[in-house]
Amino acid sequence: MEHKLVVVTGVPGVGGTTITQKAMEILKEENINYKMVNFGTAMFEVAQSQNIVEDRDEMRKLDADTQKRIQKMAGRKIAEMVKEQPIVVDTHSTVKTPKGYLAGLPKWVLDELNPNMIVVVETTGDEILIRRMSDETRKRDLETASDIEEHQFMNRCAAMTYGVLTGATVKIVKNKNGLLDEGVEELVSILRY
Ligand code: AMP
Ligand code: MG
């Protein structure tokens, strides 16, 4: 049996992973058990095993064909898991590469995953800029607030095309400063089944 598959997206630093983890903890208490799968980690495992990168933040700088090859392999791995249980995929609607925006879910990945819902986690460019500056665990790109807003605009566009191609619904969830719990509650309510 195929289980539900929800894709959670957001620009780096918006807190997509955090909000998803918190929502899943709450759902677990209700016996709603999604498995959270990080698409970047699945890609990194492939890239590392082929000695292509040493750091996950190097992947988006690779040439587009290499990124797409790894992306396809990660997509296939995740598609296998949805046969076992409901899945939340933590990923990006688009990836900002030196040569432009790369679709996080091009059609061959969508065909594998067949998502029911695409969630886009957002806040203002200013808030994301500050969150990136205070995160020392990652090699975040230095961008202005308006660069980040352009990226978020492209992410919305890409997310809606994923909806058009698959019939998945597209939900925007805000993760504003000091209002994490509201975002978590909204995500919980749409993940309930
Ligand atoms: P993250 O930890 O979510 O920031 O992901 C780490 C890296 O994985 C990103 O910077 C991208 O290089 C890559 N990545 C994650 N999801 C995708 C995707 N759907 N398509 C292509 N690359 C991705
Ligand atoms: Mg993340």
Quote the pLDDT of residue 193. 79
Q: Which of 100-104, 132-136, 178-182 is predicted with the least confidence, judged by mean pLDDT? A: 132-136
Q: Per-residue confidence at 160, pLDDT binned at 50, 70, 90?
A: very high
Q: Which CATH superfamily is domain 5-38+83-192 in?
A: P-loop containing nucleotide triphosphate hydrolases (3.40.50.300)
Q: For ligand 1, what atom is nearest to the CA of residue 90?
A: 3
Helix intervals (H) in 82-179: 107-113, 125-133, 145-166
Cα–Cα distance measured from residue 15 to residue 128, given in angstroms and rounded to the nearest whole number: 9
Quote the pLDDT of residue 142. 84
**Whole-prediction pTM:** 0.96
> What mean pLDDT is reported for the chain?
96
Pocket test for ligand 1, best of 41, 78, 95 (most atoms within 8 A of CB): 95
Mean pLDDT across 118-125: 98
Q: Which helix (H) or strand (E) holds 52?
A: none
Quote the pLDDT of residue 146. 98
Quote the pLDDT of residue 1. 64
Identify the nearest ligand to the CA of 131 by its number: 2
pLDDT in tens, 63-105: 999 999 999 999 999 999 999 999 999 999 999 999 999 999 9
140-167 as b/e, with b when 16 or more CB fall inside 10 Å? Answer: bbebeeeebbebbebbbebbebbbeebe
Per-domain boundaries in the chain: 5-38+83-192
Q: What is the DSSP letter of 85?
A: S
Quote the pLDDT of residue 2. 81
Q: For ligand 1, what atom is nearest to the CA of residue 105?
A: 19
Pocket test for ligand 1, best of 65, 91, 119 (most atoms within 8 A of CB): 91
Cα–Cα distance measured from residue 189 to residue 38, given in angstroms and rounded to the nearest whole number: 21
Mean pLDDT across 144-163: 98
Q: Per-residue confidence at 7, pLDDT binned at 50, 70, 90?
A: very high
pLDDT in tens, 41-50: 999 999 999 9
